């Protein structure tokens, strides 16, 4: 009986998964815990995560695609 091959996730894709999970978990946190925060705090948190996640993804992209030493 053969064992099925494991699907290996590359480092780059793993970092993109981290970004998606971070963005979605923060947004869900603010949606389901609106009573814990004032409206300004929710807007600030959503603004922060919507800025930092694309910045993180840009850094990951730059590291894996623009890094000449890495290739």
pLDDT in tens, 19-31: 999 999 999 999 9
Mean pLDDT of the chain: 89
pTM (2 decimals)? 0.76
Percent helix, percent strand, percent coil in the chain, to nearest 5 = 75, 0, 25
Show me where the domains of the chain are located: 11-65
**Which has the closest alpha carbon to 57: 21, 8, 28, 31?**
21
pLDDT values of the chain reduced to their tens digit, one per residue, 71 residues: 677 777 777 888 999 999 999 999 999 999 999 999 999 999 999 999 999 999 999 999 999 888 766 55
- Residue 37 is predicted with a pLDDT of 93
What's the CA gap between 61 and 64, in Å, rounded? 5
């Amino acid at each position: 009986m053969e064992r099925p091959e494991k699907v290996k996730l590359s480092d780059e894709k793993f970092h993109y998964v981290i970004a998606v999970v971070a963005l979605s978990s923060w947004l869900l946190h603010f949606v389901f815990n609106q009573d814990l925060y004032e409206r300004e705090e929710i807007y600030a948190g959503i603004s922060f995560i919507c800025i930092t996640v694309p910045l993180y993804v840009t850094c990951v992209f730059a590291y894996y695609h623009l890094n000449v030493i890495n290739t």
